[in-house]
Amino acid sequence: MGTEHEVLLTRIERNGAVWAEIELNRPDKGNALNMPMIGRLAGIVGEIERDCTLRAVVIRARGRFFSTGGDIEAWRVLSPREIARNWILPGIQVFDRISSLPQPVIAVLSGHALGGGLELALAADLRIAVQSAKLGTPEVTLGMISGWMGVRRLAETIGVARARHMTLLGSPISAAQAFEWGLITAVAEDNADLEGQLDEWLARLCANGPAAMALAKNILATMHRDLRHQHADAAAEASGTQDCKEGVRAFFEKRKPAYRNR
């Protein structure tokens, strides 16, 4: 499957409202993100940035998962320097551009959102998940950390204490727990309910003043500091450890890793 088909862009018009839908389309790999997909996302965001007729943006995915995260096979072969320059910073830049879009962005989680998949969802303004979805940051189980600003965005969204719970334990939480913590803004019983609630949100957003919403987003964005290089350096350092190499080996060998803190 070509990269252009692994991330799709659709322009939708309904009842006079126009919005864009970005769809991850790599279901056979759990919609795991690789660098060609990050590049394709960047191109799609560029198209959205140039289209002032769009009133909202929806990010969704095909298959059982929203996204299982960054593709381990894509970054495991990179050196720490390459991790920072070629993997982390491009991902951070495109996620920043998504969060900086003037239109409200909705992440629709019809399946699990893990690792980099959750980081992508965190770049959205609103998140809705089906009740069977799990959300998590399992990177530490591989001896790695969230590199695409996920740790920072998570803490800003649910608070430092809860971010510690998720990032240090590495265990996913349920959609119900995520809703209680404010990680998602709505829970749907099933896919039909998911689509129904999404339609209600889109109707409201597309009826609101676009300039006013963009200004509100700009004010909220002032809470963020530029920590891109700090995240990239930390992820690069983690990837260069023996523990990370052991974590990745254990993942592919389907066994429990033996970490030695080195």
Domain membership of residue 50 as a residue range = 3-190
| Residue 241 in domain | no
Furthest-apart CA atoms within the chain: distance in Å: 60
Determine the pLDDT at residue 242.
Answer: 80
pLDDT tens column, 29-56 = 999 999 999 999 999 999 999 998 999 9
- Which parts of the chain register pLDDT below 50? 1
**Residue in 139, 156, 195, 200 annotated catalytic:** 139
User: Whole-model pTM?
Assistant: 0.86
Distance, in Å, from the CA atom of 75 to the CA atom of 162, rounded to the nearest integer, reads: 28
| Residue 243 in domain | no
Determine the pLDDT at residue 10.
Answer: 96
Q: Which long-range contacts (CB under 8 A, 24 or more apart) does 47-53 make?
A: 47/9, 48/9, 48/20, 48/101, 48/103, 49/97, 49/101, 51/11, 51/20, 53/18
Determine the pLDDT at residue 87.
Answer: 86
Number of separate domains in the chain: 1
Determine the pLDDT at residue 117.
Answer: 96
Residue 119 a catalytic site member: yes
Determine the pLDDT at residue 225.
Answer: 56
**Residue in 119, 156, 180, 246 annotated catalytic:** 119
| Residue 219 in domain | no
Q: Which residues pair with 113 in a beta bridge?
A: 67, 135
Distance, in Å, from the CA atom of 253 to the CA atom of 234, rounded to the nearest integer, reads: 26
| CATH code, 50 | 3.90.226.10
Residue 97 structure tokens: 């551009």
| Residue 147 in domain | yes
For β-strands 126-130 and 186-188, DSSP reports them as: parallel
